[in-house]
Structure formats: C-alpha cells, structure tokens
C-alpha cells in the first residue's frame, strides 16, 4: 500500500495527566517534527506517557502504524521497565517502534564502550558487574595518579558519570587513599574523599543487575566533544560542545572554578570540519557495529547519536574516541535532522502497515 494519507505515527514523550489532556502537535518541543510528518501527509499525534496511565497510552499506540519514543532511561524517579514492556507488546502487534527496547539494550547503554573497545574508536575500557569487582580492580587502575571515568550503564545528562583520580601519585592504593572525584551532572564540584567512600557512592548503580563502565580519561577533552546525529546508518547533523562535563579546573584554581558545560552548537551534515569523522562513521564504524551487535539497518534507531572526544593525533590527523551512544531520548537535535527523521519514520510505518495487512 503506497497511499500514506492515513498513516498514523505517535510521538511519545513524558508528562503528567494534564499535559496529556492538553497535548497538541504545536505545544511541545517536537512541533517541527509534527509539521514535517504532516507535510508528508502523515497523521502525527502526541502520546504523552507516564507509568500511572500506561494502559491508556498502550491502547492509543495500538491504533498507530508507527511510534517514535523520547523517554529517558531514568525519568522523574521512574525507570523504563513499564514503558519498555508496553512497547514490546505494541511492536509484537505489528506497529513500528523506534527505538525498540531490545535495540536500546544492545546499543543504548554504556556497555557498548566495552563491547567495541577493540574498534578504531575504542580506548582502554573495562566493565564492573558488581561492587566487589570494582573494589578489587579499580585501585590498580588508579596507580600513579591515572585518571579514570566511571559511567553508570544506564543514565543520562551526566547522572552516574564520574572522573576519579588519586590526590597523589601513590603506587599503593587502598580504600583509605584520598581521591579527587567529580560528578558529571551540571553544577557538580570536585571533592576529595576516600576511595572507600567513592565506592559506596557507586553502590546504587549496581542495583537490579546494573554495571559500571571504566574508561581512560581523555586528555584532549578540553578541545570539545563532537556529537554525530544519525538517522539509521547516515549522519544527519552534528553538535559541538566546546566546554562539556568534566572540563578540568584551571591550574592552581579551586574546584569551584571549573567551567560548567557550555551550549552545544548544531550544524548540518555537510559541515566541512567533520567530514572525515562522518566518512568513518558511515563507511566503517557503523557497519562494524551492526555486524558486532547483529542489527540490520532497518532495525537501527530512526534517530540516535554518538559522542566523540579527540584521541591522540595520528600523523597530523585527529583520532576519535567514543564516549557515549544515546538512543532512548535524543533531544534536542539539529534542525537539519528533522526531515530525515520524518522520512525514515514514514517508510518504516508504511512497511509495518503493509506487513500487518498481509498477515
């Protein structure tokens, strides 16, 4: 069926009951996407979600051909367990869902940094599956004042991401050793605590089978972070943030003087400065990732992003180190990305409808 006049796509985002009752295509941050979908003769509808009225949202989504979801892994004290179970049921009913929870678990957690550590974008990376693992292995990785970045497996906006480093270049690290620890959440200040106290701060991250990923700190972090926005397997825009989380304190200054993250500037996919990175992503790294995780192109998220820091210079060329992949709730994003999202969602919703009708 090629007629898209009656194709229906829901955009799911969090809110309370009042927000749900008053939601329109124009009174939320996704209004440009609603407009882009409408321009393609697609009926796009808001589907405000909260666990308290999940059943109502479920019934709404069953009437759709496609569903696009923007809900963080941890949102207002709730995780995505109820939502993800519901989305699996919606997908099983023949509705296209992006991003499907199974794909999020494959590529949208910090563990992807460990799984792909052997790739060109990889670096010295480890995973801790329990506090006992971390207690045993982390001290040796801090010897000599080496800085590490510890990342909660599922989180967002810097929550559960820490830079930790011993206060001295000690060769003997115990739980009584003083470390400098800084949380990546906006407004956080570096503090000096014992390694044992830091370990206890991380203990909640292991609840429910959680893990912590341990990466080498990248010394070129002050040169900025590049975010590549992808629609399926193609780069559809860039973001560049000159001052980002864990930006170091000026030498000799107090921890309170560390610069806070600055704005992210957005660019279209043809920005000349990042064409080498775009080429590597599209031609090499994304195909390698798909093969490793067994994800076909049509099952990649309609929208996802990969964050890179600059690695060591290689024969006058920059290298890039992957520091995060975001899948659950990629927003905001460059304006240039919107039409690509709409077109990709339309295609997937159309295929879903045709497959459902042929059953």
Instruction: Summarize pLDDT for 31-42 with one digit per residue, the tens.
Output: 999 999 999 999
DSSP 168-190: S--S---TTSEEEEEE-STT---
- pLDDT score at 1: 38
- pLDDT score at 74: 78
8-99+338-357, which class in CATH?
alpha beta
3 has pLDDT over 90: no
- pLDDT score at 4: 57
3-state secondary structure 270-337: CCHHHHHHHHHHHHHHHHHHHHHHCCCHHHCCCCEEEEEEECCCECCECCEEEEEEECCCCCCCCHHH
217: left (phi over 0), alpha (psi -120 to 50) or beta: beta
Say if pTM beats, i.e. exceeds, 0.85: yes
Task: Give the whole-number percent of the chain exceeding pLDDT 70.
Answer: 99
Determine the average pLDDT of the residues in 239-267: 90
Q: Do domains 8-99+338-357 and 107-113+220-327 have the same CATH topology?
A: no
Going by pLDDT thresholds of 50, 70 and 90, the confidence category of residue 156 is confident
The domain locations on the chain are 8-99+338-357, 107-113+220-327, 124-216
- pLDDT score at 260: 86
Instruction: Summarize pLDDT for 297-335 with one digit per residue, the tens.
Output: 999 999 999 999 999 988 788 999 999 999 999 999 999
CATH fold for the domain made of 107-113+220-327: D-amino Acid Aminotransferase; Chain A, domain 1 (3.30.470)
For residue 236, give the nearest of 265, 258, 266 by alpha carbon. 266
Going by pLDDT thresholds of 50, 70 and 90, the confidence category of residue 171 is confident
């Amino acid at each position: 069926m090629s007629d898209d006049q009656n194709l229906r796509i829901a955009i799911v985002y969090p809110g309370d009951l009042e927000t749900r009752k008053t939601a329109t295509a124009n009174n939320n941050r996704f209004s440009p996407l609603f407009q882009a979908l409408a321009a393609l003769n697609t009926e796009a509808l808001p589907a405000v979600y909260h666990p308290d009225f999940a059943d109502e949202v479920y019934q709404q989504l069953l009437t759709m051909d496609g569903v696009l979801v923007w809900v963080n892994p941890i949102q207002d004290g709730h995780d995505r367990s109820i939502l993800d179970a519901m989305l699996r049921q919606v997908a099983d009913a023949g509705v296209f869902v992006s991003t499907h929870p199974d794909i999020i678990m494959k590529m949208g957690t910090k563990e992807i940094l460990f799984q792909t550590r052997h790739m060109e974008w990889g670096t010295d990376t480890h995973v801790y599956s329990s506090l006992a693992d971390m207690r045993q292995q982390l001290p040796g990785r801090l010897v000599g004042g080496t800085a590490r970045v510890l990342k909660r497996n599922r989180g967002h906006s810097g929550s559960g991401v820490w830079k930790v480093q011993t206060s001295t270049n000690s060769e003997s690290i115990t739980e009584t050793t003083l470390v400098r620890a800084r949380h990546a959440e906006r407004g956080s200040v570096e503090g000096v605590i014992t390694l044992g106290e830091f370990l206890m701060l991380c203990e909640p991250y292991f609840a429910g089978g959680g893990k912590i990923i341990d990466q080498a700190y990248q010394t070129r972090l002050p040169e900025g972070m590049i975010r590549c926005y992808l629609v399926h397997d193609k780069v559809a825009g860039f973001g560049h943030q000159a001052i980002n989380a864990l930006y170091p304190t000026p030498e000799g200054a107090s921890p309170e003087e560390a610069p806070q993250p600055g704005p992210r500037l957005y660019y279209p996919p043809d920005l000349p400065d990042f064409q080498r990175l775009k080429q590597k992503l599209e031609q090499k790294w994304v195909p390698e990732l798909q093969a490793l995780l067994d994800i076909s192109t049509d099952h990649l998220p309609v929208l996802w992003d990969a964050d890179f820091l600059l690695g060591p210079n290689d024969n006058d060329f920059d290298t890039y180190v992957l520091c995060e992949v975001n899948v659950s709730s990629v927003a905001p994003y460059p304006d240039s990305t919107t039409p690509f999202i709409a077109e990709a969602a339309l295609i997937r919703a159309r295929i879903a409808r045709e497959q459902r009708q042929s059953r």
